[in-house]
Amino acid sequence: MNIKSDCLSCLLNQSLRVTKHLEVDEPTAQAMLKEAACSIASYQDITPPVAAADLYPKLAKHVGKEDLYADLKARSTQEASELLPWVREQIKSDQEPLKGAIKASVAGNVIDFATPNHFDLEEEFLKVFQTPFALSDEECFFDALSKAKRLMIVGDNVGEHLFDKLLLQEIATSYPDIQLYYAVRGLPIINDVTLKEAKEAGIDAVATLVDSGVDSAGLAYERASDDFMACYDQMDLIIAKGMGNYECLEGVGDGRIFHLFKVKCDVVASLSGVPLGSLVFVQNQA
């Protein structure tokens, strides 16, 4: 998905939120926003996650801090951890626990500091198990899962990754012969998950952790490492979490990919053809 005018506005608003979050002084805030505006004006024919990969390091240089949202990521992990016991019980009591784990994973996708619309995590979980997908290729996914030998989840946001772990555990229980992989970003970008957070969550106990090498808020193939792409190409089935991965991958023509996310902006709502706030679990068009 190439960047739209709304995305340009969103990136500038994200830059402003960074200055407020870091509580920088006025001269620094103005310098950051002026540089952001100049950079944003040049973005064309790229995806929003790739634009963010250019923008965020420029903002970070003004404050000498690589991981701009490190404290918020820690807070998101804590908030998600507090919900985990209740979410596990909901999955356990579901007539089809694996479907419940998929819903838990997509509910966690509301933890996102890059989008203009924000949702309450606890409120999301209170309703998600009774909320149908607006777009669903779930049965196609289960058919593919029954034949798969290797499955990768391409992670998205920190906090959300704890619920991805629950999904991996349920897949491992139902399909013990499948080799499981979990892909993370190569560098801190917004609040996306890296090896650091994935290891702290113990995801490596249930899946092989794979560093994609990307510095973008979505899996942009041209920014991934050769080693990662070699591993990725061996997968039989891929779950791509979140809008950033959708924005990068929706046009790649790979039917192995199933996109799992909550629609959190009008641009993606228009692209996917469903209302803002909808849940989506859809197969990539081959």
Residues ≥6 apart with Cβ < 8 Å to 196: none
If asked whether residues 81 and 210 sit together in one domain, one would say yes
The pLDDT assigned to 119 comes to 76
Q: Which domain holds residue 137?
A: 70-283
CA-CA distance, 77 to 60, in Å (whole number)? 22
Q: How far is CA 79 from CA 72, 121, 205, in A?
A: 10, 8, 22
State how many domains the chain has.
2
What is the pTM for the complete model shown?
0.95
The pLDDT assigned to 117 comes to 67
If asked whether residues 165 and 109 sit together in one domain, one would say yes
The pLDDT assigned to 111 comes to 85
Of 63, 85, 107, which closes a domain? 63
Q: Encode pLDDT of 79-124 as tens digits.
A: 999 999 999 999 999 999 999 999 999 999 988 777 766 778 888 8
If asked whether residues 22 and 94 sit together in one domain, one would say no
Is the per-residue pLDDT at 28 higher than 70? yes
If asked whether residues 55 and 84 sit together in one domain, one would say no
pLDDT greater at residue 124 or residue 136 = 136
If asked whether residues 114 and 241 sit together in one domain, one would say yes
If asked whether residues 42 and 79 sit together in one domain, one would say no
Q: Encode pLDDT of 139-165 as tens digits.
A: 999 999 999 999 999 999 999 999 999
Of 29, 48, 63, which closes a domain? 63
The fraction of the chain above a pLDDT of 70, given in percent, is: 99
If asked whether residues 142 and 13 sit together in one domain, one would say no
The stretch 241-246 carries a mean pLDDT of 97
If asked whether residues 30 and 105 sit together in one domain, one would say no
The stretch 45-58 carries a mean pLDDT of 97
The pLDDT assigned to 148 comes to 98
CATH number at residue 224: 3.40.50.10880
Of 63, 81, 100, which closes a domain? 63
If asked whether residues 224 and 134 sit together in one domain, one would say yes
If asked whether residues 135 and 272 sit together in one domain, one would say yes
If asked whether residues 54 and 76 sit together in one domain, one would say no
Place of tokens 């609040």: 191
User: What sign results for the dihedral spanned by CA atoms 194, 195, 200, 202?
Assistant: positive
The pLDDT assigned to 115 comes to 76
